[in-house]
Structure 1
Amino acid sequence: MFRWLNLLLVFSFIKYSETTTVGNILIHVTGQKAENATLPCDIEARDIFHVILTSQSKNILVCENEECKTENSRVFKKGSCDIIIKDLIYSDAGKYILKVHYNNTPESQIRTYHLQIHDEISVKKGEDLKLDVLLINADKVERNSSEGWTEVWTRGHGVNSDRLTDRDGNLTINEFTANDTGTYRVLDSEGETLITVTVTESRTDSDSPGERKDDTEHTAVYWFWGVGLPVILLVLVGAIVFVVIKKHRRRNNLYSQPSHQSTEESEGLY
């Protein structure tokens, strides 16, 4: 009896070992906000039954292709099991687990990803900058300055400056100045980077095309009245003076010529 029980236990152990996952590796992926990111599986396409994608212990619906129309059509499968996430947003950042199951076998493959999202923002001086980066898995926010990385927000403690506001998942920089420029990064509890945002100050010459057109027109008008018109008037006055002098000299020549001829004629008679 005990012998059969031991055999049953051994068989159960072997069966459990066959269903365990293999090939569990961590893959770092970086994507630009509003663009696409690919979670590559690099698994041989042999009778794949289905894939399961999870993030923060929640299953994510994966479309079979890009054309499918579902509630979450931003995530779809490409090729054998690559996962594409379209139109990235900040909340997409974090860890993902992909399980690939095969037909006719209990074996499965697993891949773990860490998705980091990068963004670039330009802000005008004096404006408020609102960053919706305080995700549920965010632990701290740091800024890269001349002194290195310094904390500007920490979960449980909030912001470290009166010019910063923590409200509704947003980190707001009030009345933006040149000193606020730099790179901000959001870290999770394990020290992994979730989001990096490069913040720059808007240049004054980066106005809209309409504003640049108005400035060009104003400059042209100013140049005409301030420079062009005086030059034109100066040229006209010079031309008039030249014509007057020319006429005056011609008139003098006409008056002096008859008296000279009459003198010669009178001398010739004697």
Structure 2
Amino acid sequence: MEEMSEKFLIRFRCLNLLLLCLVYHSGNTSKPVSGKKGGNVTLTCEHEANNIVHIDLISESGETDVCQDEECSGRVFKEGNCDVVIKNLIFSDAGKYILRIYYNNQTELERLIRTYQLHIHDEITVKIGKPLKLHVLWANADKVETNSSGEWKEVWKKGHGVWSDRMNDTDGNLTIKAFLASDAGSYRVLDSEGEILITVTITESEKQSTEKLDDTEQHKNWIVPVVVCLVILVVLIVISVIIWRRRHRGYEQGRVQENPEPPQELEEL
């Protein structure tokens, strides 16, 4: 009995993957959905009937367990009739999804299929000269592009790696060894079909500029008191010299008035 259950489970999973491949390559248009990393996204089923029996959610990594309400411990849960919410988004969530909806149509069990293309975006700031690690090179990533130069340019390709010696890729990370102002911009990850999986917008940290301004302001604040002290010192020195000269002149005049007659020895001569 257990062997039959295992065989059934294997067949069921194989059918799910086969269905996923058929949907991917059948030309069926996926509904684009987008969410911010760490946030939530809703895959709407657009089916208002209350006679839904079961729903399945399938991605490239396999079938995803869907909790029946938000109180479940998992990140994926059903909302309303058949909408599916994925919360606390991470980059590895990006990609294609198939939502299968089973519902009763009078006496028959019917099935609806909805497909989605989930795009995840994020924004980060980096200090100049610091290494930047982007954890974006997942299994479904085919290439990475950036518009930091004003137009989209490929910086990484599956099977080739990075196109610049300023970057490297290890353990699913695309790393810029030392961030420069020219590296700022958007980086997007695309799958083999050209669908955008992840977009990361990178800006230069304003903290560095603020620190420079603070240093300049502190420099100014240090210079002003020194200049004021020097001016006061010069003024005091000038005043002291003037006072000394006046006193010295008064002293000389006093001596002349005390001895107006020449010495007697000079008179006799």
Using the size of structure 2 for normalisation, the TM-score is: 0.68
Q: Does the 8 Å CA contact 1:37/1:85 hold for their aligned counterparts? A: yes
* Distance apart, 1:228 and its partner CA: 11
Does 1:30 find its partner at 2:31? no
The residue aligned with 1:179 is 182
Specify whether residues 105 and 148 from structure 1 end up closer, same or farther in structure 2 by C-alpha distance, changes over 3 A only: same
Q: Does the 8 Å CA contact 2:148/2:183 hold for their aligned counterparts? A: no
Specify whether residues 224 and 26 from structure 1 end up closer, same or farther in structure 2 by C-alpha distance, changes over 3 A only: closer
CA distance in 2, matches of 1:57, 1:100: 19
Q: Output aligned runs, 1:94-133, within 5 Å.
A: 94-103=95-104, 104-133=107-136
Q: Deviations over 1:71-113 (max 9, x none)?
A: xx11111100111111111000000000011145221111000
The residue aligned with 2:85 is 84
CA distance in 2, matches of 1:203, 1:171: 23
Q: How many residues align?
A: 204
Q: Output aligned runs, 1:144-223, within 5 Å.
A: 144-204=147-207, 219=218, 223=221
Unaligned runs of 5+ in 1: 1-20, 238-270
The residue aligned with 2:253 is none
CA distance in 2, matches of 1:152, 1:225: 48
Q: Does the 8 Å CA contact 1:125/1:176 hold for their aligned counterparts? A: yes
Specify whether residues 146 and 165 from structure 1 end up closer, same or farther in structure 2 by C-alpha distance, changes over 3 A only: closer
CA distance in 2, matches of 1:167, 1:42: 41
Aligned match for 2:48, one of 20, 41, 44: 44
Give the secondary structure class of the aligned counterpart of 1:106: strand
Give the secondary structure class of the aligned counterpart of 1:91: helix
Using the size of structure 1 for normalisation, the TM-score is: 0.67
* Distance apart, 1:115 and its partner CA: 0.3
Q: Deviations over 1:196-252 (max 9, x none)?
A: 011111123677xxx9xxx69x95x98499449959x97xx9xxxxxxxxxxxxxxx
Give the letter for the 1:29 counterpart. V
Q: Does the 8 Å CA contact 1:25/1:111 hold for their aligned counterparts? A: no
CA distance in 2, matches of 1:25, 1:222: 62
CA distance in 2, matches of 1:230, 1:178: 39
Give the letter for the 1:155 counterpart. K
* Distance apart, 1:46 and its partner CA: 2.7
Give the secondary structure class of the aligned counterpart of 1:76: strand
Q: Does the 8 Å CA contact 1:141/1:186 hold for their aligned counterparts? A: yes
CA distance in 2, matches of 1:33, 1:45: 32
The residue aligned with 2:10 is none
Q: Does the 8 Å CA contact 1:75/1:83 hold for their aligned counterparts? A: yes
CA distance in 1, matches of 2:49, 2:191: 34
